[in-house]
Structure formats: structure tokens, C-alpha cells
Chains A and B, each alone.
Chain A
Amino acid sequence: MSEEQAVLRLQRGDQSALTPLYNQYAESALRTAFLITRSRAAAEDAVQDAFVQVIRNIGALRSPAAFRPWFYRIVINTAKRSARNSGRSISLEVGPLNQADLTALSPEEAALSLEQIQAVRVAIAQLNDMHREIITLKYYTQLSEEEIAGALSIPPGTVKSRLFRAREALQQLLATREGVIHS
């Protein structure tokens, strides 16, 4: 069953159509929510709430083809709310990398310097919520900038400027860290 067919069937009240959509999106949604909330518990709650909202509001989705950004918008909003409800927690601790982590990466990515990847991980964790959110959407969910605009309800130009600022903030954090290491 294609994604569009699943969406149409869900709109018609076919409960079985939830499963293919869940299989396709749940894992990515959980990881997106985790990157935003920095909390496993909050991320699970967010994904649960997001799918429930999808079921309840699927009738409002005019174009089944637009499901992806629409879904991620719900995930982001529920993740933010979940983070808020679980208390504002800022986790600056990022565990060390080990070989097993590299299975998540493509061969090309796995060939990158572990030290640099680790530095970027720490820097992403230190970004403010808004910047971490846009970095997550761009580089993890790999939504297009147009889809990100839809997901965040902001103009495409704002996506570009926000991404620019987020990358700039990352670079500053990395530069600071490098300065600390070298000094």
C-alpha cells in the first residue's frame, strides 16, 4: 500500500491503514522528537500524541501527498509540548562514540573523523531549541526546505535564514571548543 493510499484509507476511517504509516514514520518520528526534547520519555510521549493527533485530524489534510511535512509539523509541536510538560531539561552531556554507533552511518559518513563527529554532536546538544530543531529537520529527517517551511509554518526565506544562523551558532560552538582544546 502506498503512502497516499494509506492516508486516503485512514481518512475514510480504515483503522488498519495506521500500521503502514506507523511502520514508515514512527522510528524517524521518535528520533526527531528525541533530538528536540533530549529525553527518551518525552520523545515517546510526543510520538504517541502525534499519531493520535494524526488519526483525529487526518480529515483536515487536503492533499495526501502533503502528509510528510504535515506529520512532521505535528511531531515537532507535540515534541515541544512534551518537553515543556516534562520540565525544561537541557542535556549537555553527550556520551562517547563507540564503534557500534557507526552502524547508523553510511560508509561515506563512517569514514569521517570520529573526533570531529563527536565535537559536532556535543555542539548540536548545546544549540538552543530553535536551532537544534531546524538542524534536526534539515539533516536528520532530510525534509526539503519547502517541506521544513510547511512543517514549521514559517516562510521558506525564514528557513534559510534560520538554518544559516543555526550553522553559524554551530560553527561558533565548535570554534570555542577548538580554542578550549588548543589552549
Chain B
Amino acid sequence: MSDEQLITAAAKIDAHQIHLPDDLLQRIQQQAYGEGTTKPRRFRLGPTLEILAASLILGALLTFGIMGGLDRRPAAPPTGSGTGQSTTPITLPRLVESEVQSVTISWTGAGRGQVRVANQWPTATPAIIEAYNRARAYPLSGLSTPHITVTLQLASGEKLTLAILDSERVATQVEGQLVEIRSPELSAALRSFSGPFADVPGTVAVEMADGRGGYIVRGPSTDPVIVSLEVAGQLRQRVEAPAVSGWYTAFLDPIRVDDLPKGEIIVTTTNGVGVTRFPVPNSPHLGTYSQNFEEVFVQAADDVVEIQGKTRLPDGRFLVEVRTGEQVLAATEVQLLEGSRVQVKVPGGIPEGAEVWFYSDTKIEMALPIIYRK
């Protein structure tokens, strides 16, 4: 018997432990075409903190903001290309362009940030307002995780926040109710500000490219992006990555291990408006970079592992384990705040191949191999 047969057999047995749910095709059709009679999507809380935070932001901004700056006239008949089939009565108010003073876009996830788009004012804003006013005719049920929020500052001092859910759907809130609206037009208008990060922001993946070394940077985008590599603020490489089938991919050269802590990968929209920054990863595990970290560096000397980083958890607390395989060599709770530097002592020293695992609550956030030492 060959290894290949064994591996094939093992993979088949593992995979055959699950079976297609009966309603999956209908769920797909429902989501894609707005058809079907069954539940559109299995609701799952997902990353609880992110949903909670996003909901709170939307709730707070809109509860205080949406009522004053909006015209309450009944909606005009829908003329856009929205394809929502909901029969829910139209409840979203019409937005009056003259009341919008500025637009701010912020996005969550790895490389989160915020930009004021005053430079594109006023040409882009009417497109958003027009698309919004048409799209409000298509409220949908359900809530996904919004990653990008677009805040329109109104002359009255109040704010309207729109959260992009994906390339077709936007969430907003009215009278305390969070609703989704389906509108490729509105999503596209918002994307004109936020570039490639509108579809799936924060999911830009940075992986170690094996074979020739370096990094593979990829993410969702319908437009080309610029991917740059900087070390200590100095540009090392700049690549324009075309978007193919909704994704861009860029290959970056490797940098010296000593430069890793100072390295930064920057993904920029071609219009320069959207910018996402990542620390250069020192581990293939960072291909699945935890969104609860902005940056983490791990190094070791003798029997001490030193961890430095910045997290997005409010209290910055993680359980940390130093492990080799399934053997836990040391475990302790650490608090990583901005600029924090914590040390974990490993009795008996740190063997080759050791890793540092980070847990929040009960889930593993990230596992980093200890690849460089003082």
C-alpha cells in the first residue's frame, strides 16, 4: 500500500462525515436571486465582539442621528436595479442632499482605519445620496457583519451611518430598527470611496510564499490595487495588482528577519483613498491573521519568551500558551496594550519548533512559531 492511498482514504473518510443539508440549494438561490421559500441563511453569531461593536456603533449613531436631517415624505417608486423581493413596507426616510456636509468612511478588521473624503466632495456624495434614496425601497431582513461604515455628517449636527455588508447590500437603521437594503448601485457608490475594501474588508490575506520566499498578498477587489512593502517607512517594493474574478493577488519579495518588526505591507486603492496596513508577518499562521490583533511580535532568549503587541480587545487580555505540538510548556494570562511588552518564562528552556498560542475566551486567536531569537 502506498502513502498516497492512505492519505486519499483518510481524506475521504473525514469528508464523508458530513452531508449536504437539504435546503442548501434553496438558501443559495434565496441569497443570490432573492427566491425560494426557506430560510435565507442559517443565522450564526460569528465573531460576537465584532457584530456587537458594529451594532452598537450603528445603533448609537443612528438612534441619535437619523431623525432630524431626513425628509419623511413617502418613498418614490423604485427605479434602481435593486433586486430585493421583500414585501416589507418601505420605512427608510429620504435623504436630502443639501443637508449632507461631509462623508467619513471607517472600516473594521485587520488594517482598520478611517478616512474623510473631503477631497472627493461634492462629486461623489450626490451619487451616494441618490443611490440611497432609491435603495431604501428594498429593506431586507437579517443582519450580517458590517465591516465598513460610511457616516454622513448632516448640517443639523446629526449623522447617518450606512454599513456596507457586501457588494449588493447595505445596512442602516431607522427608528431603532436595523435593516438591510439590497442595492448594487448604493454599494458601488460607497465603494467609490472605499475601493477594494468594500466587499470583504479586513480579510486581506498575507501568506508566506514558499519555494521562492516572500509573501503573497490577496484580497477581494473588483478594481486593481497597489501593494507596497515598506521597512521603517522606506519603500522597498511597489506592485500594481490587477483584479481577476473579484480578487487581486500580489507577490512580494522576502525581507530580512531583522527587518520583520519594522516591515509593513500597504494595500492602497488606485485612487489613493482606501488604505490598509499590515505588519509583515513572521509566520504562515498570519495568513489567517486574527482580527483581534493589530500587531504582535514574539521573540525568545534563553528560557523567556517576550511578546510585544497591540490588540483590539478592550482589556487586551489573552491566555498565552508556549507549546510544542500538544505539549504545553508554559501558560499564563497576559495583557497586551499599546506598547506593552510581556515576558513568559518557560522552565527548562525553549525548544526548536516551539509556538506561542493566543486564546481569547475559549477560542484560539492565533498561533505564532518562535522563529527569531535575541
Contact = CB atoms under 8 A, between A and B. Distances in A.
B363 interface: yes
Contact of A154 (B19, B25, B209, B290): B209
Contacts of B14: 34-35, 94, 121, 124-125
Interface string A94-116: 11010001111100111011001
B32 A51 contact: yes
Nearest to A58: B245
B7 A135 contact: yes
Contacts of A167: 3, 7
Interface residues of B, number: 65
A161 B212 CA distance: 10
Interface string A11-45: 00001001100100011001110110000110111
Dominant secondary structure at the B interface: mixed
Contacts of A135: 7, 11
A64 to B, nearest CB: 14
B33 interface: yes
Contact of B210 (A26, A45, A140, A161): A161
A76 to B, nearest CB: 11
B287 interface: yes
Interface in B271-296: 284-285, 287-288, 290-291
A128 B285 contact: yes
Interface string B13-31: 1111111110011011101
Contact of A120 (B10, B46, B209, B210): B10
Interface of B: 1, 3-21, 24-25, 27-29, 31-33, 35, 41-42, 44, 46-47, 145, 167-168, 200, 203, 205, 207, 209-212, 216, 218, 244-247, 249, 284-285, 287-288, 290-291, 325-326, 363-367
